[in-house]
Structures are given as structure tokens and as C-alpha cells.
Chain A
Amino acid sequence: MKTQLIVPTLCAFSTLLFTACEKKAGTSAESTAAPEAPAASGGSIGGVPLVTTLPPELIEGTPKPIKVPNLEPAPTKAPEFRVPAGTELLSKGKKVTGSDTNPIIGTLDLITDGDKDAGEGYFVELLDGFQWVQIDLAKSSTISAIWLWHYHSQKRAYNAVIAQISDDPEFKTGVTTVYNNDYANVSKMGKGSNNPYVETRYGKIIDGKGTKGRYVRLYTAGNTSNEMNHYIEVEVYGKAS
């Protein structure tokens, strides 16, 4: 698989602000999963803040210890990330395919249905092992950010989180890897330099770095609580070409 060089996007100020705001959160739960710290900031120089509707807190059950190296501290607020003016949510309602065509529970369309609640029925559970889902944005686009929620009713870290962008639906050519925390190379796609992180209602923003592509593919290989793979929602932000 060929990986392209990534060039960070620079952009100008803009007056555009996304619709946003945080839903009133439920009571926050104490976690034993990881130390907490302010969310990291990042994204384009200049630009506008990327904001979305955050789901309410829903923590169920007893968390399991997260034993992975270099675990990022769990955020206590939404991540701060700037994107170029004119950036739009491209993925809402778009078609999703995946390596597991018969999910254990839920359906792949839940990934782009716009609902980020953590409860039963709001997520899709894929088979164990190394699995992927793929969003077809319908047009080749310049992608600024991927904001994803795997599962946030229990603090856990997903293994081998990899995000790729391509214009090839088979991901055989023109593939850009924009995120990879597969520190143990379980994917056999090469070790990644990003760190494992704790799932929370704040989700995880992956810098799209202005990469062009029609398809976004996300991989995982189970998580620190069980062997399965889950997605609640994925939001892909950018500009359609």
C-alpha cells in the first residue's frame, strides 16, 4: 500500500462557524481508567473552531484497567481544533461499508446517522480481529478533520486505530494514512506514531491535514475491554471538490 506525504493545510480566517454546542451533559462519572487532562488543541493555523454537538455522558458498569503504553490522558472538555473557513460536515447520511458485512449488533448506517448517544442501539458492533469501516463521501474532497466516537459508555482504548483517505474504494492506490496508533503493528500495516487514547463522549479528532479523497477508511483491532470493534458515529469534515 502506498502512503502519500502529508502536507498540513494552511488557511485563512473565516467568519464561518459551525452549528454547534454541547448538549447538556449528564452527570459526569468518576473514572479509574486514566488520568485526566485538558484536551489537546490542533488543526489549521488560523481558520475557525471545529465544533459539533456532543453526546451526553453515559457511563455504565465497572471500567476495566487499560493496559497500553503511552496512553493519552482522558480529556475533560471538547478538543479544540481549527479548520479552514468553509469546511462542512461531509459524512452525514453517507453510505458506509465495512469488512464485517453482518455486524454482531446494529447496522453500519448508524455510523453516519448523526446520533452520538452511547446507549444500546446507537452503535454497531463488528466482529473481533482487525476490522474496518469505510465512508463514501460521494465526491473527492479535501478533508480537514475526522471526529470519531467508537464507544463511550465505558472508558476504554481501541487497539490499532488507523485512519486512511483515498480516492480508490479498494484502498490499493493513492492511500494517505492520517492517523495510526498501532504501536504493536497488529495490523501488519506498519507501526504508528500516534498514541492510544481513552474513549469519552468528547470523541477523538483526527487531523485530516487537507488530504484529498472520496473515501475514508477506519481500522481497529478490538479494545482494552473486549475483542470487538465498535462505532457510534464518525464525522468527516472538509470541502467537497
Chain B
Amino acid sequence: MNQPLPFINRRDFLSKTIAGTGAGLVLGAPNILRAADPGSADTIHVALVGFGKQGEVLFNCLRNIPGLHFQAVCDISAFNLKWGMGQVRAFQRSSPKGYADIDDMLATEKGLDAVVVATPDFWHSPHTVKCLEAGLNVYCEKMMSNTIDGARAMVKAMEKTGKLCQIGHQRRSNPRYRFVLDHLINGQKICGQIVNINGQWNRSLGSSQDIGGEKLHASTIVPDDVLNKYGFKDMHQFRNWRLYLDLSGGPISDLGAHQIDIFNWFLGAVPKSVFASGGNDYFKKREHFDNVMCIFDYDTPQGGVRAFYQVLTTTSAGGGFWESFMGTEATIKISEIASSSAIYREDGAPPWDKLVERGFLKRKPAPPKPPPSADSVKSYESAPPEGFDLPGGFNKPAHQPHLENFFAAVRSNGSVKLNCDARHAFLSEAPIYYVNPSALTHQPIVFTTEQLSV
């Protein structure tokens, strides 16, 4: 299901990802020196659609990518719009044009090449389709849409217009993930047969609270008529659209989609079924489940794979967020956080000394052996697997490589492929749309071809 991956050799990987852990603080080059010349033929002219929290995250990556000129910012919130325009002004020392409405922006702005969409999920599809049909290349945040039909419309628009449409599953461009897939799982077959996958995103209660609280600053309030025009009932919905059934897919979509995408990408397969359970066990008034657990079953050329995933919003226990690929010879635990990533060799698997010598892996210091305990119970455990670190750190913001891939593709006229275009994103996301229905009905769903097709 995946496009061939652009090759990243080990030397490139290591040289590009050595962590910048020097303690010294050096101010970066002044922004104006990093901003693109808007008059240059090589400059890509960009509009930013949606400048909430995620829009800001993306802009903080975009500003590191050479050759981009930010021509326009669009947001229905006057506060967000001012903030976005201010961020751009701070970066390129010239103010972009500002719009509250995307149709006005598309009708007015000339010379745009690309749009970065970071609006709420239920606007992803309409905004992406409009921009593609206006002849622009689009980078759109995941989840593609709050509905599978919305996602289908994005694929169709991309293929009809021939423009580029990258979906923001940013791990697909993360050098650590690509190295693990290309060199360790596929190249070295280091896991043996992958039989099970486990993944989680456990978020603490403090990070799961409603945004905005009870006391909104007057400058941030969007008038009711504007909110209603754009599909929000009130400010709570505007700030917390992730909590509402009609506006998003909830935590399994908001958080889980990133990681279930990795399950599918690494296996090169889509699941044949899902069985899920979820509930509002803490946030009782929220429309979406506050915790979801699900099991996907796969048939792969290597054999069957069973994958468990949980998203919890009341605890960060278990180390936050990661994915674990458990094979007969090794388990790879991988995350966007380097310290949460490692590989464990099963007792009896071939030794990895040569892989360590060649820089594929780094040996972890042996943990101290615990002293015998008087109250220990004798048992027949397997020998614990030997742990190794994955090479390299990652010294860029998490979303930057994915945006770099998008703009490299825009610039290349076809020679650089997107790491996650809308069609491949759809194939990976489609099963996720059935997790909540399975949990609601307490029934497994065996996928039909039609369910997972555009």
C-alpha cells in the first residue's frame, strides 16, 4: 500500500539526526536573514489556513524551511488571525494579508503555490478540496476529516486536479521511523516475524482539560454570528471542537490516528477487522469517549498480526505515547520521543554485535542485577530481552521533516514523492473511522473492501 520510500542511507541518517545537545545558547540568525525573498522565482508562496494551536506548531516548523514566503493567513478568529499575521511579520518583517474567510482569500490572492491547512477536523475536507480545486498544493493536518466520506472527497480532489496533497502523519517523514522501517525491519529483518503490536497514547488529566476554562479573555471571543456561520454553536465548541461528535472523531482520531497509521505503514497492510471498547468513565459530559481500547487483526505475508491500541485521557502512565512491534527475535519500541525508543533482542536471537559495530544500534548499559529478595517467589520467566538504543537523536521539531518533504515535492515537479499523500493516508486512516462504531455497538467489525475504499 505504500509508495516506495526515498532512500535514506545510514550515514545521512546519522549526520542529519545527531542531537544538538550542546548546552551553550546561541541566538539564531535574525529572522529576516532566514525569510525568503518574495520576488525570487524559487520562492514558494504559502497561505496559512487556520492559526490556532496546531497552526502555530506548523508555522514554527515552516519558518525553518528555506524559500517560503508567507503571503496570507486565514482564520475566523480575529485573535488567531492577528496572532498568525504577527508571527509571520516577526519572521519575514513584512505583514501578510489577513482573511477571515477562505473563499475571500482564494478569490483575492494571486500567485499562491501552496496552502497549509490546520483548521478543525470537520473543516479539513472542505478547505482542502477548495484549495486543490483552486490549483493549489495542500498540506493538511490529520485526521483527514471527521467523516470517511470527507476523506474520500479529498482523495478524489487530489487525483482529479493533479495537485499535491500531503496529510500530516508526520511520523512518516521522521528519520528515526524511516530508518527503523527501511533498515531494521525490512533490511535486516531484525524482528523476525512480527506477531503482535502494542501502542498507546496516555495523556494526563492535566493535559486533557477543556481549553479556555471559564474565563475567556475578551480579545479572544469570536462573535456568535461568526461562530454559527462556520459551524460552531459557541466559544466552547470553537476552542474544544475535539470533544464534539459532529466536529471531530475524538481521542482515537485525534491521538490514535498517528499511531495506528504507523501500525499499517510498518506492516504494509490494512487490518481485516477491529474490535473496540470505550467509555466516558471520567469526563462524563463529553460527547466522545474519554478512553478507548481496540484490537486490529491483520493478515500479512508473514502471517497473522494482532495489534492492541489504547488512548487514555486520564493518565500518562506507561510512558506517554509509543508504538511497540513485537517479533519472534526482537521488539522495537518507537516514539517521537528518543528516550522512549529502543530495541530489545530476544534470548536466542542471532547476536547483534556486528550491527552495533556498523552503527545500526547502540548497546544500552547493562542494568544492575537486583539482589535476591527474601520475599521473592520462584517462577519460570523467560530471560529478559537485551536492550539496545536506536541510533541518533532527532534535533528538529517533530513536524518539520514532513513539511520539508511536502515543499520538496512542490518544488521538484514530480521527482520527489510525498511521504503520505491523501490516497495513502486514506488507506491507513479508513479503519480508524470504524473504531468508535465498534465501541458503541460492542461488536467487532470485519471490514469489507467497500468500507476501506475511496
Contact = CB atoms under 8 A, between A and B. Distances in A.
B79 interface: yes
Contacts of B31: 128, 227
Contacts of A160: 25
A222 B209 contact: no
Contacts of B87: 104
Interface string A24-49: 00111110100000000000000000
**Chain A interface helix/strand/loop/mixed:** loop
Contacts of A125: 83, 86
A8 interface: no
Contacts of B24: 184
B298 to A, nearest CB: 29
Given A104-B86, A105-B86, A127-B90, A119 B27 contact: no
A119 B217 CA distance: 8
Nearest to A222: B27
Interface stretch (B177-185, B200-208, B418-426): B200-208
A67 B86 contact: no
A29 B53 contact: no
Contact of A104 (B89, B216, B219): B89
Contacts of B79: 105, 120-121
Given A27-B205, A29-B207, A228-B90, 4 more contacts: A27-B206, A58-B213, A61-B57, A117-B215
A59 B212 CA distance: 11
A119 B205 contact: no
Interface in B330-388: none
Contacts of B53: 60-61
A59 B216 contact: no
B217 A120 contact: yes
Nearest to A224: B25
A120 B90 CA distance: 19
A56 interface: yes
29 contacts: A29-B204, A29-B205, A56-B213, A58-B209, A58-B213, A59-B206, A59-B207, A60-B207, A68-B23, A105-B79, A117-B215, A119-B215, A119-B217, A119-B220, A120-B79, A120-B212, A121-B79, A121-B218, A125-B83, A125-B86, A128-B90, A184-B24, A184-B25, A184-B26, A186-B25, A186-B26, A186-B27, A221-B27, A226-B60
B217 A104 contact: no
A159 interface: yes
Interface residues of B, number: 36
B206 A227 contact: no
Contact of B216 (A27, A60, A121): A121
Interface in A114-170: 117, 119-122, 125, 127-130, 159-160
Nearest to A32: B320
A62 B213 CA distance: 18
Interface residues of A, number: 40
Contacts of B215: 117, 119
A183 B25 contact: yes
Nearest to A196: B25
A103 interface: yes
Nearest to B91: A128
A228 B28 CA distance: 12
Interface in A10-30: 26-30
A183 B25 CA distance: 8
Interface string A91-117: 000000000000111100000000001
Contacts of A28: 206
Interface string B34-56: 00000000000000000001000
A85 to B, nearest CB: 34
A227 B24 CA distance: 16
Nearest to B30: A129
A207 interface: no
B9 interface: no
A28 B205 CA distance: 8
B206 A30 contact: yes
A60 B21 CA distance: 25
Please provide the 5 A-B residue pairs with the shortest distance between their CB atoms, ordered closest to farther.
A29-B206, A121-B217, A104-B86, A184-B25, A69-B23
A57 interface: yes
Given A27-B205, A28-B206, A59-B207, A119 B212 contact: yes
B211 interface: yes
